[in-house]
Structure 1
Amino acid sequence: MRLKDKVAIVTGGSRGIGRAIALRLGAEGARVAVVHQRGTSGEEVAGLIRQGGGAAIAVHCDVAHGLQVQAMVDRVVAEWGTIDILVNNAAICPFKPFLDIPEAMWQEVLDVNLKGYFLCSQAVARVMVAQGVKGRIIAVSSISAEFGGSQQAHYCASKAGINLLIKSMAISLGPYGITCNAVLPGTVETDINRDQLADPEVRAYWSQRAPLGRIGVPEDITGPVVFFASDDSAWCTGSLLIVDGGVSANLQ
């Protein structure tokens, strides 16, 4: 177990990539706070971790609101006394052509995807600095930060912002021994894009774009996250790791 007794927060941890990350961190021995916004899905994931012999809690939080973020962080510290790992993963991506994106939608995407990462990172980093914890902050970004999309201008902009936020945080928090890194998934089948990928032509296109010949699954992202969360990445900070099956290498 590479993360035995570490305390980890995973935002957006109740489904998709976040769910897979939360389960993997639990399997690696971490105590996991599964942060989710609504319903009981976070408790279901926490329950699976506990059934596997791990420790986990579910915490409701809208990451776009600072008071809720602080309450979430306080809850985790009250439960386990510290925070070692933060995985910023909560994100939304309502597909919409650029000319049709309303201002409210633009703002919501930036609030959740970028502001939420800032608020969670700042609140957790303050705990780490105060306690002298040489922690790990990991962002789930996207190759959409590097490549535009006709239906994703708001999402692409938010993910590009995350990448430079991570680099800036790495500079600011490095003197405290806190590392900040990001993983950039390619096309991974989740609730966000499942309707699109139900189209056989769309699925075939993205499968063929990847030299490895398939669309990703959430579990493909968990290994890189564990690497950044563990001591194996002790000299990595400000890094952006592409995990896309080779799609971004294929310009043909």
Structure 2
Amino acid sequence: MNLEGKVAFITGGAGGIGEGCALSLARFGADIVIADIDSHNGARVAGAIRELGREALFINTDVTHVEQIEAAVTQAATHFGRLDILVNNAGGVRQTPFLKQSERSWRKHIDFNLVSMLAATQAVANVMIDGKRGGTIVNIASSEGLRAAPGFAVYAACKAGMISFTRSMALELADHGIHVHALAPDMIETTGLKPYFDAAGEAENAARDRYIPLKRLGAIEELGNVVVFLASGMASYLTGLTIPVDGGAIASSGWSRSPRDGRWNLYHG
């Protein structure tokens, strides 16, 4: 899985899952472009990539503005002369019951999670097509795009839209040798979520272990490793996939491990 000579463009790469993807791709030889609004952490991640011996370019980008994404892609393509991998990672959510959620909040969720992906995909795919080398696009969706998500309805709708868009793009871009996939992570231990997980009580941790077959949180490196595989020649006959990176949580849907005897039961503990 050698990615040397390839260039990856990552939205939201200044932290969390995006940072994990950037470092994983760099470890396997890719040069990295980070498009993010967080200049401090963007510079930090770029520095970490350079320490791995790869070239890194940070571009301050507000991904909720299409014109800024387009400008960042143009700058990256001009700098490196090519783009081979796109990771649409930028996104975010705030828990709110839908009936109390404002129109402004709807639109912020849609711009951040969905429109940013549309803009980056269109811009980067055109660079890939002009380069005639093919490429790989990986959309970081969510397990919430595959199941109900009370309190996160608009976010989940955006993630479900990302998954549907992935399948459509896999067909539209296949003739250009561009492979398109989505990942659907669940409970990944990012820097931002670590305080929440650390504060979880014994009952919450026990419930998590009952519902996640692998009985633990995921690491960002584990998700990054899947991105590396999809971007490599090892995945040359794959496109249009949505892969849950979730320790088996989607597979266990409705089933939980009994705290008494460890047996799996449907709809009860």
> Would the aligned equivalents of 1:64 and 1:119 in 2 still touch at CA under 8 Å?
no
Partner of 1:9, secondary structure, is strand
For residues 156 and 43 of structure 1, do their structure 2 counterparts lie closer, same or farther at Cα, with a shift above 3 Å needed?
same
Q: Percent identity?
A: 36
Query: Aligned Cα RMSD in Å?
Result: 1.4
In structure 2, the residue matched to 1:218 is 220
TM-score of the pair, normalised by structure 2: 0.90
In 1, Cα distance between equivalents of 2:204 and 2:149: 14
- 2:208 and 2:102 mapped to 1: Cα distance? 28
Q: Counterparts of 1:1-252 in structure 2 under 5 Å?
A: 2-191=2-191, 193-197=193-197, 198-200=199-201, 201-250=203-252, 251-252=254-255
> Which amino acid is the alignment partner of residue 200 of structure 2?
D
Q: In 2, Cα distance between the equivalents of 1:32 and 1:47?
A: 11
- Give the residue type in structure 2 aligned to 1:174: A
> What is the match of residue 260 of structure 2?
none
The runs of at least 4 aligned residues of structure 1 exceeding 3 Å deviation read: 191-196, 201-204
| CA distance in structure 1 between the aligned counterparts of 2:208 and 2:101, rounded to whole angstroms | 25
Residues 181 and 83 of structure 1, relative CA distance in 2, 3 Å threshold:
same
Structure 1 unaligned residues grouped into runs of 5+: none
- Give me the TM-score of the superposition, normalised by structure 1: 0.95
The aligned residue for residue 262 of structure 2 is: none
- Mapped to 2, the partners of 1:53 and 1:206 lie a distance apart of 38
* Cα displacement (A) at 1:129: 1.0
**1:199 counterpart letter in structure 2:** A
What is the alpha-carbon distance in structure 1 between the residues aligned to residue 175 and residue 225 of structure 2? 26
